[in-house]
Structure 1
Amino acid sequence: MSRRIQCLHLFNIVLFLQVAQGQAKSAIIDSMIKRGFWCSKEAGRGVIQDQVNIGGDALPWANQRAFAELMLSWEMRSWHEAEGQKSLCFFDRGVPDVLGYLRLSELTIPRHLENAIAKFRYNRTVFIAPPWREIYVQDAERKQSYDVAVATYHAMVKTYRLYDYQLIELPCVSVEERVDFILSRVVL
């Protein structure tokens, strides 16, 4: 039997839900933390940093399957961490993102990932930031082009809708205005 954590998933999309990568998603999460909310950081960036630090190959440009498995483990751990929180929780991505990533990479979807999506449920409301060219930046961990970021956004929208999540698109405004937009639409 699956339980639904009463947390909201903040998705930064471009590679995001998410908020697309380069969409000031980290700034949104940082602002939420400053306001006292529990937040889960983005799995992909954390996995990349750890793998580069240890010389591992579970990287999106080296071993996509291993990268996806580590992201899945990260997201499940984050979900469990949120279980004990007494306040509203925000996630910078979630378990369904892993499936969206695998589809975008044209890799097969393992059964255990579908099981994880069914078991590790979030609040049905997911905030997602659309691609925003003016603020998109590449860096050491975010190497994909803006066009790939847009494709990722569409893959994530499709994935989250497939699993019965309701998406609310964030407006292309300042970080603080985005945070206020999110908080005005959740019950505190």
Structure 2
Amino acid sequence: MPVQRAAITGAPGAGKSTLLAELSRRGVATVAEVARTILKSAGGMALREEDPLGFADAMLAAQLAAWNDTNIEGPVVFDRGFPDIAGFLRVEGLPVSEAIARACAEYRFDGPIFRAPPWRAIYTPDDERIQDWQEAVASDRAVSGAWHDYGYTLIDLPLAPAKERAAFILARL
């Protein structure tokens, strides 16, 4: 069975990381969100704030590395994907570079793409999630639009606990 790459996209603070942890607990291979990893590293927040294009390039490099590290059999669920980088740039009002557009076109997810819609009841800013509620909703619109623009159909996740969301995903992998 070849690798099947699926992804979870959507609003910041909509439960994606918690859901990936639940999927991992159930034995599904997962890939953490590259942006959050960069933001937690030394200088990551400054890079995002002072050089959004450089931050997008760093996300692209990390996403490519994660993609290339998933040569396993069976499903792998990514926390976000290449079109999320394009969506980030849209939110920032910046152009999508040729390299990012090429990665969105060439590195195709073949599993379902799940969308975690904005969910106000669980939304909480943190050290890396600096958007307010309205910015989180705008980010969801931008990243969802980018996935659509690159030819993907999104499957909305239910607003339900992580265990129910995981069962929803497992039924579709």
TM superposition score category, shorter chain reference:
over 0.9
Q: Percent identity?
A: 32
AA partner of residue 6 (structure 1): Q
Contact 1:126 1:167 in 2 (8 A): yes
Alignment match, 2:67: 79
Task: Find the partner of 2:131 among 125, 144, 154.
Answer: 144
Counterpart among 27, 30, 46 of residue 36 in structure 1: 27
Matched, 1:7 2:5: yes
Give the CA deviation at 1:6: 2.2
TM-score after normalising by structure 1: 0.86
- Structure 2: give runs of 5+ residues left out of the alignment: none
Unaligned runs of 5+ in 1: 15-20
User: 1:50 & 1:163 partners in 2: Cα distance?
Assistant: 30
Tell me the equivalent position of 1:68. Answer: 56
Say if 1:48 and 1:141, in contact at 8 Å, map to a contact too. Answer: yes
Alignment of 1:46 with 2:34, yes or no, is no
CA contact 1:58–1:70 (8 Å) conserved in 2: no
Deviations 1:134-182 (A, max 9, x none): 1000011111101000001111111111111110000101010000011
Cα pair 1:39 1:89 within 8 Å, conserved: yes
Aligned positions, number = 172
8 Å Cα contact 1:100/1:156 also seen in 2: yes
| Residue number in structure 2 paired with 1:17 | none
Displacement of 1:113 after TM fit?
1.2
Supply the distance in 2 between the matched residues of 1:125 and 1:86 (Cα, whole angstroms): 16
AA aligned opposite 1:44: A
Alignment partner of 1:57 is 2:46: yes
Q: Confirm whether residue 184 of structure 1 aligns to residue 171 of structure 2.
A: yes
SS at match of 2:27: coil
User: Does 2:13 correspond to 1:22?
Assistant: yes
Q: Which amino acid aligns with 1:50?
A: S
Q: CA RMSD in A?
A: 1.7
